[in-house]
A and B are shown apart, each in its own frame.
Chain A
Amino acid sequence: MEVLFLADFSVIKPEPGLIIWTTIIFAIFWYMMSKFAFGPIQQALRKREEDIQGALDEAKKAREEMANLQAQNETLMAEAQEERAKIIKDAKHAKETILKEAKEKAKEEAQRIVTNAKQEIENQKLAAMTELKNQIGTIALDIAGKVIDRELKGDKEQEKFVNEQVGKAKFN
């Protein structure tokens, strides 16, 4: 029987030519692909991933900053509120103090005025009394003089006369 084809399992026999060519072709393939294709792709992918990560990180940072700012604002607000309350309280306190002082002063003044007025009245009264006493004395002396001058006729007559005199005496 003639054999039509190469009944030879030739693929299992490593040929030097194919080994050499595979080595050359794959070595060049590896070099070229690393340099012009896989290398740049790898770098571009890494760069893009880093960019995305960077953008995410930045967004996170911005969000955190925002939150920080908000917290700061709230603190500021609270502080301002506190300040305001304190000022108001102080003002109230000051107002009360002033009012109280003013009242006391007014009272003192009034007291003083009243005291002064009383003093004056007392003085005036005293002066008036003194004058009155003086006038009464004068008048009494006058009347007594007149009485002495006139003849004392009886008691009745005298009494009448004195009364008359007293009635005549004008307190000025």
Chain B
Amino acid sequence: MRKILLSLAVLWSMSLGVFAQDHHDHQEHATESHEHAQEAGEHADEHAQHTCGCDEAHEAEYDAGATAFHHISDANAFHLFGELYLPLPCILYAPDHGLSVFLSSKFHIGHHGTGEKAVDGYVLNHGEVMRVSTPDFPKEEVEIDCILAHKGDDGHDHYEVVYQGNCFPLDKKTTFDGGLMGGGVTSYYDLSITKNVFTMMLVFVLLFWLFRAVAKGYQKREGMAPKGVQSFMEPVFVFIRDEVAIPFLGPKYEKYLPYLMSIFFFILGLNLIGQIPFFPGSGNVTGNLAVTMTLALFTFVVTTLNGKKDYWMHIFWMPGVPAWIKVILTPVEILGMFIKPLTLMLRLFANITAGHIVIIIFVSLIFIFGNAGESIGGSSLGGAMAVPLTLFMMSIELLVAFIQAFVFCILSASYIGAAIEEHHEHH
């Protein structure tokens, strides 16, 4: 009973953490916009000939959806608390400028993760690096006025940096969505150690340290009963081995067990650390399509490289089926080869992202009901609703963290199992 109470208390304080952070951020931003507006006004006086300035900024309404999108996105600086950010290494490559490597603290991270300086033509906008591609923008370290955002005709956001009263359009980083989601190849590539990369490294180190201790326990107490962390992890290990690896992979399971264990614990670790609403958590790694795509690709590569003759036979020329059906079946099977990892990618991504968005929306109730800080009564009502709802959602997310890691693992096992299975001819 005490344990339950304790975990409830922890969950509750976590949800408060998100609330506090959000509230703080929001206030910060409101003042920031105001300051920038004043500043820009001065600049506009100095450089009367320029048509662009920060006075375009207005008091904005609270947008829960945008807040959610912002909170789940990757960043080039890790927010600690207040205005404190952990700087992360930026590795940026622009074909027309070359490689730029520096710490994101060089941007002089200010209000809400926006840099006060431009470095090598790059700026930090809400924690995300963007680039000025126009050649007349200075390539050295310069102070910028502000960054403007407006909705374009295409429905996507466009950003401009104001420098000495001049507006320069900002490029977002290159993404491989083929323009389907509003991204595409731009003037630069961001290969930085971002918040997500940092989180992955952290999880790597934590898991390695944990399992090294477990492995050492086996070496130290060889042939003896497990003890401590060893006995905590052993049932999980044995469960994956006996319920996932052996049933799906058969007698040759030992070759693939380390892969299944790695994928399970890597995803589980990332899922769990993503549930912590503050540093070193809050990184939405498994809720990012790039990550789930890469992990699904690993399963695809392992499956394809280990595919036996029977596997390829069943894809290209299904035995025991009339020839005219084979003509239909073969394209379907080839499609299936790629659909399998695609579903892996989307399932994990959608589950984690949806969970995070729902939590942020629940917390946003405070701002929606409070009319962005104007109504204390509304905020209190929103808070009274948000706390139990967030608490409930976080428990669900905790469950989802385990389930999705397990599902990814068991489906990978089933795909690999299907590829390495040696059928007996059934004509």
Contact = CB atoms under 8 A, between A and B. Distances in A.
A33 B258 contact: yes
Interface stretch (B6-14, B70-78, B317-325, B384-392): B70-78
A112 B353 CA distance: 131
Interface residues of B, number: 82
B254 interface: yes
B349 A11 contact: yes
A148 interface: no
A11 B287 contact: yes
B212 interface: yes
Nearest to A10: B73
A141 interface: no
Given A26-B295, A29-B266, A33-B207, A15 B190 contact: yes
B69 A9 contact: yes
Interface in B215-250: 215, 218-219, 222-223, 234, 237-238, 241
Interface in A11-58: 11-23, 25-26, 28-30, 32-34, 36-42, 44-45, 47-48, 51
Contacts of A7: 63, 65-66, 69-70, 151, 157
Contacts of B61: 1
B278 interface: no
Given A5-B70, A8-B182, A17 B58 contact: no
B74 A11 contact: yes
Nearest to A41: B215
B176 interface: yes
B279 to A, nearest CB: 19
Given A19-B176, A26-B298, A41-B237, A13 B223 contact: no
B60 A18 contact: no
B196 interface: yes
By CB atoms of chain B within 10 A, which of A25, A26, A28, A45 has the most?
A: A26
B334 interface: no
Nearest to A9: B69
B193 interface: yes
Given A26-B298, A40-B215, A5 B293 contact: no
Contacts of A36: 208, 211-212, 215
Contact of B218 (A16, A23, A26, A41): A41
A4 B128 CA distance: 14
Given A5-B66, A8-B73, A38-B258, A29 B211 contact: no
Nearest to B197: A21
Interface in B96-148: 125-126, 128, 148
A90 B290 CA distance: 99
B261 A4 contact: no
Nearest to B260: A38
A17 to B, nearest CB: 4
Given A33-B211, A40-B215, A13 B181 contact: yes
A27 to B, nearest CB: 8
Interface string B145-163: 0001111000011000000
B57 A40 contact: no
A4 B211 contact: no
Interface string B43-86: 00000000000001110111101110110111000000000000
B218 A33 contact: no
B288 interface: yes
Given A1-B60, A3-B66, A13 B175 contact: yes
A38 to B, nearest CB: 4
Interface in B249-305: 254, 257-259, 261-262, 265-266, 284, 287-291, 293-295, 297-298
A23 B262 contact: no
B200 A25 contact: yes
Contact of B69 (A1, A5, A34, A44): A5
Contacts of A9: 69, 181
A12 B177 contact: yes
B214 interface: yes
B207 A29 contact: yes
A2 interface: yes
Interface of B: 29, 33, 56-58, 60-63, 65-67, 69-70, 72-74, 91, 125-126, 128, 148-151, 156-157, 172-177, 181-183, 189-194, 196-197, 200-201, 204, 207-208, 211-212, 214-215, 218-219, 222-223, 234, 237-238, 241, 254, 257-259, 261-262, 265-266, 284, 287-291, 293-295, 297-298, 349, 353
Rank and list the top 8 A-B pairs by shortest CB-CB distance, nearest first. Answer: A44-B218, A37-B211, A5-B70, A7-B66, A34-B258, A13-B175, A18-B290, A14-B290
Given A4-B33, A37-B211, 5 more contacts: A1-B60, A8-B182, A17-B197, A18-B196, A42-B241
17 contacts: A1-B58, A4-B62, A5-B70, A6-B126, A10-B128, A11-B284, A14-B176, A15-B176, A17-B91, A17-B173, A18-B290, A22-B290, A29-B262, A36-B212, A42-B241, A44-B219, A51-B223
